[in-house]
Amino acid sequence: MSAGATHEVDLLIIGAGPTGLYATYYAGFRDLRVALLDALPEVGGQIAALYPEKALYDVAGFPAVRGQELVDALHAQARSADPLMLLGRTATGLVEDEDGVEVTTDTGETIRAGAVLITAGIGSFTPRELPVGSEYLDRGLRYFVPRLAELADQDVLVVGGGDSALDWALGLEDVARSVTLVHRRPQFRAHERSVAQLQESSVEVLTPYEVAKVAGEDVIEEVVIETRDGERRTLAVQAIVAALGFIADLGPIDAWGLEQHRRHLLVDRTMRTNRQRVFAAGDLAHYEGKVKLISIGFGEAALAVNHITALVRPGSALTPGHSSDL
């Protein structure tokens, strides 16, 4: 698409992760003309960029599915809507009037739509840095493991106590020579199933420790961990995976006048924000009792698209019936 081009659609979806891909399919199912925009050059969002080999267990219909496999299936489903794909672009400006919404991008394009659905996950994301040893980034220290095989036959230290830390530790168990998990608290913030699997695995779990020192001439050779009481241990490792969470940034969306709760967009029961033609679904959307699951994002996407259909095409039924009736 050329810079300065203008596109007209019924619905613009911002964010091409799982929720955005499903929303794209569902918008096509409701016979809407849809454009899908994302800052990344490929669809899939965080899952494709950071966790393509991660096994997911909470998606309906799949006892377990790799992240990239889920993205590929959702992408194939979304293509049935024949969407206008606007990848490698960032939404910058938004102007709303009685008839629709106009969104501009950093490439100079303009998208005119009846409504906008924001499914941008947590927005852009920056990993929280390991407090010590940052100078070893790309020399043994990493924050993501897109390909587990990159750590084959290495002694790996995973730092963190959330889902990502446990997932990577468990995923590396049969790949790395050894895996040690260090967390500063005895309790973990991960899913109960993952904690149970960790306890039954060969991963060495050391709590409550924090990384005190990282050493090595050119690459990481050893790590010193320490408790608050000053007890120290030295570990011989060649790789550190620091899974300490992310710092989220909504980018230009932050200036669109959308009500927020702790960096998330507040929505009502129709997934509408405080702006008449701007909706949100997935991890970025917030309401009382919200639970962040991919499967819930799918439901929120369908709910939002149904209400958007009634908004942009007055007289349309709120519910479409069953797909098997088509």
Residues comprising the binding site for FAD? 19, 38, 46, 51, 91, 125, 283, 324
CA distance 235 to 231: 13
CA distance 67 to 204: 26
Q: How does 277-294 read in b/e, with b if 16+ C-beta sit within 10 Å?
A: bbbbbbbbbbeeeeeeeb
* Strand-pair category, 264-266 with 260-261: antiparallel
CA distance 92 to 313: 26
CA distances (Å), origin 14, targets 67, 86, 251, 266, 322:
20, 9, 13, 16, 26
- Residue ranges for the known binding site are 19, 38, 46, 51, 91, 125, 283, 324
Identify the CA nearest to 316 among candidates 13, 31, 9.
Answer: 31
